[in-house]
Structure 1
């Protein structure tokens, strides 16, 4: 039954009762009523959403979470989440929010999750910020582990390596963002052989990063795929060629974005927090989580890198072609760490440091 048919039946039923002398009293208090959260609509323009905050809730005594870090959708339409609670690093949901499976007991820094299909099978790439990247099957069987880059001649032994995200290139090359470590993107073959370092470490130059938190392959131009890398503390994404040549910066003032997520022509990202504080040489004058805690939202860009909606955030505003600072507008989210978009363009939001909450669903309307 379509929505129009359902509404029509409700209307005819109410009309029939009125004709019979029956007065139907709606069940709400007109003076003191407040909209329920699932009735709240957030976002702007063509990208508006209804909140389902309890979508992924489970029994914390059986399947607890600490931080819901990232989520992907597999080829069967299942929603797969990684976190850092070693009772169950990985939770697998169906689209209704029902738990289908859980596994993972050793990824203490379970943080990044990417999915790649080789043409026949789905594989997961998990980044553990304790110092490794692990390729697994969907049921958790480990197939490859990449450890400290000094093993491959990329780092010195004392260099920090705390990987946060991976992306898989068109030929199967593995790109690892060392977002909490030495601020490079490391490129490996699909067999795990080191190719190169991308970027020039921590800093504010075009080819440098301030928290290289996320990475993805932008294949919207099928003839010219590129690499998008987060520079979170610089409030931007940076684009590189697949061989590591810097191309451009996409500035997102005020928004401490996590990894870029592509769906169709659009780019989505969780904003971990937002800030009114300006930078001096790429560094904030005070730590963002102490000045603007729990100030996350979601941001959406079109194929021209124009911000078109900020669910939970202030409406995007451009002045003389320049994007103005974006901030949290509604206190719905704490720290949006990742988003996953399903085939119906609903968004699933994972949060860090958010009182051990499970993923939230935003239903596209």
Structure 2
């Protein structure tokens, strides 16, 4: 019998038993939750101190994003210039660290050219850098005005990138002008995708993330985050709108595809809708520290919300989702390993290191 099946059977046989969180009274160690979160077949045990390190040696400010390379190593980017990049093994042991100049270290994508892994780091201070996994810089894409894509005074604060099947680079200008910029693998500008910030079909309200979706039949597509609009939008690789996946209440970060499912960190959740241009309706002003993780199947249906309310549909329409358990502050990203464990990076979470969610 598989371990996950065994644990699920034990859980079903002991309904009504609630795991009680254990709090370590030593201030030097963060809290550890011995509890199970999630819904349906996607439940997880929280290991809150999995990624903890010596702060005097490898400090962090915000743990923004994480990917797993072809060697099974977990690579994280943050915005502390003592060590922008931390590389862990699955046990939480630090293997390497590097990066001393990415003050806005935010987005991290991994691309394999068929033989080697490469990283794309999005620095919200205004650049996207291609590197080797040991930190050697290979290419830098700067302000889009250098390529004829923007005016010189346009704001450019890239938050995410993705690499297409032919090597084309897609950059989400999520904190800037809210376009998706498409470049060749050699850094030559191709096109802008979308119509900037707004509420229209081809517009985004914080185009925070982008990924290539190879699931299903037909050509791969782009999945693009519209965080303040609580949705993902699907486009063709040349920028034509296909559909919108609504996630009411959930201010999602980038979409992460693993096998047939989509995972995303929810930075905030809210009982009320955000109104474009109205700071008073922003969840950070109303309900900060309200993050969780959301998981969707290949049809775009939410199947689990670890740390959040159970997903419910009425007449086929997804109901509002909010944080239910105060385990996370602001979930900024989620990485999935080959055992389907999750690693959660958080923004504005008291300089917390990544948390592991062990699938059960």
Q: Please give the TM-score of this superposition, normalised by the length of structure 2.
A: 0.91
Aligned counterpart, 1:190: 185
Question: Secondary structure of 1:150's match?
Answer: helix
1:130 to 125, 132, 140: 125
Aligned counterpart, 1:296: 291
CA distance in 2, matches of 1:106, 1:214: 22
Aligned counterpart, 2:171: 176
1:240 paired with 2:229, answer no
1:334 paired with 2:329, answer yes
Question: Secondary structure of 1:144's match?
Answer: strand
1:102–1:324 Cα change, 3 Å = same
Instruction: Give 1:281 deviation, angstroms.
Output: 5.5
Question: Secondary structure of 2:146's match?
Answer: helix
Question: Secondary structure of 2:281's match?
Answer: coil
1:269–1:305 Cα change, 3 Å = same
1:138–1:232 Cα change, 3 Å = same
CA distance in 2, matches of 1:282, 1:262: 31
Larger CA Rg, structure 1 vs 2? 1
1:82 paired with 2:77, answer yes
CA contact (8 A) 2:274 2:282 kept: no
Aligned counterpart, 1:324: 319
Equivalent runs, 1:1-365 vs 2, <5 Å: 34-36=20-22, 37-221=32-216, 223-280=218-275, 285-365=280-360
CA contact (8 A) 1:214 1:230 kept: yes
CA RMSD of aligned residues (A): 1.8
Question: Secondary structure of 1:289's match?
Answer: helix
CA distance in 1, matches of 2:21, 2:159: 38
Question: Secondary structure of 2:70's match?
Answer: coil
* Structure 1: segments with no counterpart, 5+ residues: 8-32
Instruction: Give 1:280 deviation, angstroms.
Output: 4.0
Deviations 1:122-147 (A, max 9, x none): 00000000000000000000000000
CA contact (8 A) 2:280 2:286 kept: no
Deviations 1:66-89 (A, max 9, x none): 000000000000000000000000
Instruction: Give 1:330 deviation, angstroms.
Output: 0.4
Instruction: Give 1:39 deviation, angstroms.
Output: 2.2
1:279–1:343 Cα change, 3 Å = same
Instruction: Give 1:277 deviation, angstroms.
Output: 1.6
CA distance in 2, matches of 1:215, 1:3: 34
Instruction: Give 1:224 deviation, angstroms.
Output: 1.4
Aligned counterpart, 1:10: none
Question: Secondary structure of 2:334's match?
Answer: strand
Q: Please give the TM-score of this superposition, normalised by the length of structure 1.
A: 0.90
* Structure 2: segments with no counterpart, 5+ residues: 8-18, 23-31
Instruction: Give 1:170 deviation, angstroms.
Output: 0.3
CA distance in 2, matches of 1:78, 1:34: 32
Alignment size in residue pairs: 339
> Mean alpha-carbon deviation: is it higher for 353-362 or for 34-43?
34-43
> Mean alpha-carbon deviation: is it higher for 79-88 or for 217-226?
217-226
1:3–1:164 Cα change, 3 Å = closer
CA distance in 2, matches of 1:324, 1:2: 34
Question: Secondary structure of 1:39's match?
Answer: coil
Deviations 1:235-290 (A, max 9, x none): 00000000000010000000000000000000000000001122446856433211
CA distance in 2, matches of 1:108, 1:202: 25
1:284–1:250 Cα change, 3 Å = farther
CA distance in 1, matches of 2:192, 2:265: 26
CA distance in 2, matches of 1:3, 1:154: 52
